[in-house]
Structure 1
Amino acid sequence: MGARSKPRVEVRRSERRRRTVSAYRDGDKIVVLVPNNLSGAEERAWVTRMVARIERKELKSAVPRGWSDEDLTERARVLSDEYLGGLAVPESVRWVSNQRSRWGSCTPRDRTIRLSERLQRMPEWVVDYVIVHELAHLIEPQHDEKFWGWVSNYPASDKAKGYLAGWSDAARISRPPSEEIFPAGEDVD
């Protein structure tokens, strides 16, 4: 499955638009409509925020991955064989709904791995990265140099870390700030 690329963004300034910022998807690009009187910094901030909002909306409407816990456990075994020399064998891997601040967790003592159900709508290579990351904890429990050496065997690890960091930042940025530049309605559609 291919990586989701950064969308093309077109910013349209309007003399008639005074207080609102809106955005919508137009094919492979996102169009952001802003008032003409915004500074460059304000425009960049709003574009980042509105693109994140569109992408979050699209992610929510995507069909979740239908992998069962058994599918996840088998996927983990395949990834362990391919990237960790088969050294990390989990007892179980399962989706959980109670992880809101982390993507996955591992308990080396009982060899169980839990993945946030938020990953179900993300690209397969991102899910694979999180699985490899958690599998590496079965070999090296701490986030030390040896641990990251194991994780780096997964070829898309840097890209996946960036994807997850971007997703987390977008989710953080999109929370309503205490003071908004344009408090009037911000249409997404």
Structure 2
Amino acid sequence: MAHDALTSVEVRRSRRRTATVSAYRDGERTIVAIPARFSRAQEREWVAKMLARLDDKERRRRPSDEELVARARELSVRYLDGRARPSSVRWSSNQGRRWGSCTLVDGSIRISTRVQGMPAWVLDYVLLHELAHLLHAGHGPDFWKLLDGYPRTDRARGFLEGVSFFQDGGSMGDPAQDD
């Protein structure tokens, strides 16, 4: 969510805050908390800095299709010896239950837009999972062996299971459907 004229900024001054500045999004508003002692010039400077930081953080969490392709290539080289070579990698908004999917026939990978905004290590796991499917179609031992090198596989799977649990209203469903 890049900052623009439609996004309002609320500056909150705090006497308890002595040195730190923080910022977060609250819907269409951006809240910037600063020490009460800051001058108007310091306020303007820090608001601009914090808006730029938030925009950069959000951009990194919502990479473009081109950035997805580049990231998939990096992950393939790092964890799969470059053997998985997708023909395309793109965001997909029509994957209601899956985090990602791939088509072996043409080597294309689609990542659910539901992954956008999740931590980068979760996106990396989903990309790596789909890259591994280009080498092994099913979820057998050889498939999971490919993911052994990624240090956050278990953590990412747990994160995604938690998100699914929450989105399903507390129902676990079939974890095999959450590729």
Name the TM-score, length of structure 1 as normaliser. 0.57
Distance apart, 1:174 and its partner CA: 6.0
Distance apart, 1:154 and its partner CA: 1.0
> Aligned with 1:98: secondary structure?
coil
Q: Which one of 99, 106, 119 corresponds to residue 103 of structure 1?
A: 99
**Alignment of structure 1 residues 34-183 onto 2, 5 Å:** 63=58, 65-173=61-169
Gaps of 5+ in 1: 1-61, 176-189
Where does structure 1 differ by over 2 angstroms across 4 or more consecutive aligned residues? 62-66
Distance apart, 1:66 and its partner CA: 3.4
Moved more, 147-156 or 129-138: 147-156
Closer, same or farther in 2 for the Cα pair 1:133/1:168, shift >3 Å? same
Read off the aligned partner of 1:69 and give its amino acid letter.
D
For residues 160 and 66 of structure 1, the distance between their equivalents in structure 2, rounded to whole angstroms, comes to 17
Q: How many residues align?
A: 114
For residues 112 and 97 of structure 1, the distance between their equivalents in structure 2, rounded to whole angstroms, comes to 15
For residues 140 and 105 of structure 2, the distance between their equivalents in structure 1, rounded to whole angstroms, comes to 18
Gaps of 5+ in 2: 1-56, 172-179
Read off the aligned partner of 2:63 and give its amino acid letter.
W
For residues 66 and 151 of structure 1, the distance between their equivalents in structure 2, rounded to whole angstroms, comes to 23
Read off the aligned partner of 1:84 and give its amino acid letter.
L
Per-residue CA deviations over 1:77-114 (Å, capped at 9, x if unaligned) read 00000011111011110001000101000111101000
Read off the aligned partner of 2:159 and give its amino acid letter.
Y
Distance apart, 1:124 and its partner CA: 0.3
Read off the aligned partner of 1:90 and give its amino acid letter.
P
Read off the aligned partner of 1:110 and give its amino acid letter.
D
CA RMSD of aligned residues (A): 1.7
**What percentage of residue pairs aligned between the two structures are identical?**
51
- Of structures 1 and 2, the one with the larger relative CO (CA 8 A, separation 6+) is 1
